[in-house]
Amino acid sequence: MTRVLVLNGPNLRRLGIREPDVYGSATFEDLEALCRDAGRRLDLHAEVRQTDDEAEMIRWVHEAADERLPMVVNPAAFTHYSYALRDALAQRTAPLIEVHISNPAAREEFRHTSVVAGVATGTIAGFGLSSYVLALQAVADLVAREKSS
């Protein structure tokens, strides 16, 4: 079973409370269970984490790079300005899928730019929590391709 880090940035632990009209009513615990269940079906061990601390997020990204772990990352607000996170993610050694619950391109203009998208394998956004399931499917497909080549 391939271990994958599912990393979540600021305010995502407040799912279900924070702007339910944008992010839905599901909680962070619901997201954790969804990712673990989807991961099991895809032969992935999804390790879900959340932090409001940019330095902690960067340490987790370094861990993934050092251990050659695939990542699904919802940088949240870090998406739009964290060059430190972008530089850490550029050191990735395995697939990296950027994920967003809402569609940033359909929201406020400041959300239209992702400084991390350029170093990601791909981006999935706008499908609610299903964005994470789609991202895990992409990781599973990429890992399978690497193993067969």
Residue type, 77: A
Q: In sequence order, what DSSP letters do the residues of the chain get, joined into one string?
A: -EEEEEEE-TTGGGTTTS-HHHH-S--HHHHHHHHHHHHHHTTEEEEEEE-S-HHHHHHHHHHHHHHT--EEEE-GGGGGT-HHHHHHHTT-SS-EEEEESS-GGGS-GGGS--SSGGGSSEEEESSTTHHHHHHHHHHHHHHHHHHH-
Q: What is Dmax (Cα atoms) for the chain?
A: 45
Annotated catalytic residue 45? no
102 annotated as a binding-site residue: yes
* Catalytic position from the list 45, 83, 100, 132: 100
124 annotated as a binding-site residue: no
Annotated catalytic residue 23? yes
* 11 token code pair: 């305010």
Positions marked catalytic = 23, 100
Q: Could you list the residues known to form a binding site for substrate, using ranges.
A: 74, 80, 87, 101-102, 111
